[in-house]
Structure 1
Amino acid sequence: MPATVDTHVHVFERSLPLAAQRRYQPDYDATAADLLGVMRPAGIARAILVQPSFLGTDNSYVIEQVLRSRGAFAGVAVIDPGMGAEDLATLRRAGIVGIRLNCIGGPAPDFSRGVHREMAERLAAAGLVIEIQAEGAQWRSIAPCLPQLPGPVLVDHFGRTPAGDASGGFEALLAAAAETENLWFKFSGPYRFADGAAAGCAGALVATVGPGRVVWGSDWPWTQFEGRYRYTDTLDWLARWVPDAGARRAILTTNPARLFGLTAFAEQ
């Protein structure tokens, strides 16, 4: 049967070299063994390890964990936008299935031209998903360009922007999603933006985009929000956001397999 997939977790050790520019650094370890110890009892078979922002573009630890996992994990890397096609192909062979752009606290990337548009074209050719973490007004400049990109784009954490926000960011994402089937949404991290906003975003997305372009992530170990949640809490949230059992099953299984091209990875 199709495997259940958690599409957003982080693993790291406090001894790893940290990026010079960082907003946060952990004082604890969150290892692959720790992750398996919480996700497997909850019925989650596979996970996608997302490179933490505080490790910068050194993806070696995530890649090591992916390769050692014997198919339990795939990875999402952080790269310099100018990375060439050969290096991207090497990442793909190592089990990397996506590239993440974390725009929080920085400028919104311009996908209409230049280095980010060229990067998007190389990523599509390499079979890699673009994951974007942004918020608010950033989406007003990013979202209109997304329908023109050649490959899939995944919006992290509902877009971290409430429906009806003064920025219009969430509505800009909805408008872009109406123009392309390549725009996907990750239901995760409701605590990373306004209280209660995730439920409103989830309802709007399921009603307008449909559950077929939604994936789920636990966001374990909840960096900067550690100790407040249990892994099973995050599945309970999904059940409230998506009451329909069939839609929820697709979000946990066939949707991530289709988005990330996890053909072999999707079978238990």
Structure 2
Amino acid sequence: MLDNCSTPITGIDAHAHVFSQALTLAGERRYTPGYDATLGDYLSHLHANGLSHGVLVQPSFLGTDNQYLLAALRQAPGQLRGVVVVDPKVGRDTLQAMARLGVVGVRLNLVGRALPDFAGPGWKGFFALIAELGWHVELHREVDDLPQLVRHLIPFGVKLVIDHFGRPDARQGVEQRGFAELLELGLSGHLWLKVSGIYRLAGTPEQNLVFAREAMPLLLQSFGRHRLVWGSDWPHTQHEASTGYASVVEQRQALGCSAQVEQALLVDTPSRLFGFHHP
């Protein structure tokens, strides 16, 4: 086990995945990996890019079997935090055991899935446990459906984190309805957003970057720099052939953020949101 509790925070990557192709995969999945994304490789990318800490997110193709992610947290406990995928019927003891390993949130990856009925049985108790632990709920869904989901979830009193700019379609510009509504909801103070996955925004690389550059000042005005975090989305599943760690760092730098915003994106905000110890 590597004890990195005293590692100074030079930068936090708020969204990455580790997995092995040898693992048992979920029966219903959109993607099947043909390679391993190991913790060692990930930590090497952090080091090479001047970053010190990371947040590992359970990939959808592993379903609710979080054992590989939890094993990674055990290897670098002070350096990593985790976001898991669990059944809403999960017990308090299981969640508390995960919390002791560094889990700080649960992910609702709803891309390609029917939207849940959060008024249904079990959800209220589940979100009460999440709130009690101080965890967040991470939402991954295309932007058209996000405002509705957010409005349904706010009454549960949990922190909400939006994935990948909210998955808008870059070709429709920053005026598209779902993104405009998301900006309005950002003013509520209930939401955080991950400035990540620019290459997932449905346009050409140029269109995606133009959208991200136009979106950043609007996000800063709506969410504020204290509710935005950056993530690499390593190893860039489904985009491995065209995307690498260095290229997503270049995309972040191309957003033209000030030094103060960069400090907030990479250190101050993720330290607070994910429970890293930063003096």
Question: Structure 1 length as normaliser, TM-score?
Answer: 0.91
Q: CA deviation at 1:203?
A: 2.7
Tell me if structure 2 keeps the 8 A contact 1:75–1:97: yes
Corresponding residue number in structure 1 for 2:226:
212
For residue 17 of structure 1, the aligned residue among 16, 24, 28 is: 24
Q: CA deviation at 1:88?
A: 1.3
Could you list the per-position Cα deviations for residues 128-187 of structure 1 after superposition, in whole angstroms to 9, with x for gaps in the alignment? 11111011331242122343231211000010014322xx222222222222x2310000
Tell me if structure 1 keeps the 8 A contact 2:81–2:104: yes
SS at match of 2:187: helix
Could you list the per-position Cα deviations for residues 191-241 of structure 1 after superposition, in whole angstroms to 9, with x for gaps in the alignment? 112322333332321122221100010001100000322312222222232
Corresponding residue number in structure 2 for 1:193:
201
For residue 148 of structure 1, the aligned residue among 155, 174, 179 is: 155
SS at match of 1:97: strand
Q: Which stretch shows the higher mean deviation, 6-15 or 188-197?
A: 188-197
- Residue 209 to residue 242, structure 1, CA distance change in 2 (3 Å): farther
Residues 156-235 of structure 1 aligned to structure 2 (within 5 Å): 156-162=163-169, 163-165=174-176, 168-179=177-188, 181-195=189-203, 196=208, 197-235=211-249
Q: Which stretch shows the higher mean deviation, 92-101 or 240-249?
A: 240-249
Q: Which stretch shows the higher mean deviation, 222-231 or 143-152?
A: 143-152
- When the two chains are superposed, the root-mean-square deviation of aligned CA atoms in Å is 1.8
- Residue 24 to residue 122, structure 1, CA distance change in 2 (3 Å): same
SS at match of 1:75: strand
- Residue 25 to residue 200, structure 1, CA distance change in 2 (3 Å): same
1:257 matched to 2:266: no
Count of aligned pairs = 262
Query: What letter corresponds to residue 218 of structure 1 in structure 2?
Result: S
Unaligned runs of 5+ in 2: 1-7
For residue 87 of structure 2, the aligned residue among 80, 98, 101 is: 80
Q: Which stretch shows the higher mean deviation, 240-249 or 53-62?
A: 240-249
Question: Structure 2 length as normaliser, TM-score?
Answer: 0.88
State the alpha-carbon separation in 2 of the partners of residues 35 and 89 from structure 1: 26
Q: CA deviation at 1:4?
A: 1.2
Tell me if structure 2 keeps the 8 A contact 1:110–1:142: no
Tell me if structure 1 keeps the 8 A contact 2:81–2:274: no
